[in-house]
Homo-oligomer: A and B are copies of this chain.
Amino acid sequence: MSKEIAQLNELWTDIYYRLRYNHSEKITHQAIRILQVIQKESEVGIKEIARAIQVSHNTASEHVKRLLEKGYIVKTRSAADERKVILQLTAEGNDILHRHSSLDEEKLRHLLFEKMTKEERQAVLDAFALLKERADDVYYR
């Protein structure tokens, strides 16, 4: 493993450890994973959830049922095929996922606007955008 890869990963995990939200509401591990899939992919149904988290369709359906009950997602039927459901996050769903996978906004605000110059801020954003753009190439190849 090259020095750069190890370095980047250490920076990555360090940054997350320092900047993540501290006091999170209780939500299950698989629920977070499912909400992520729904947010990051398009046209997500039970089959896609099952495949993404590597469980049977019945397990996936049960998980989805619970998320519906909690109000984190909503379900519609696909116009193209009425057997298929299309799942989407609600505002609550987006909110709780945010808190379990994003960087704490207050910490970010402080960091970006009180600890960085405008140029530094832009450099960070540019670097992240570049990394994400290249990551898309890897993900979708």
Contact = CB atoms under 8 A, between A and B. Distances in A.
Interface of A: 1-2, 4-5, 7-9, 11-19, 23, 29, 36, 39-40, 54, 98, 101-103, 105, 107-113, 115-116, 120-121, 123-132, 134-139
Contacts of A16: 101
Number of identical protomers: 2
A18 B13 CA distance: 16
Contact of A111 (B113, B128, B134): B134
Contacts of A98: 9
B29 A125 contact: no
22 contacts: A2-B109, A2-B113, A4-B112, A5-B109, A8-B103, A8-B125, A8-B128, A13-B36, A13-B40, A13-B101, A14-B40, A14-B135, A15-B128, A17-B40, A18-B136, A18-B139, A19-B135, A107-B138, A111-B131, A111-B137, A116-B130, A123-B127
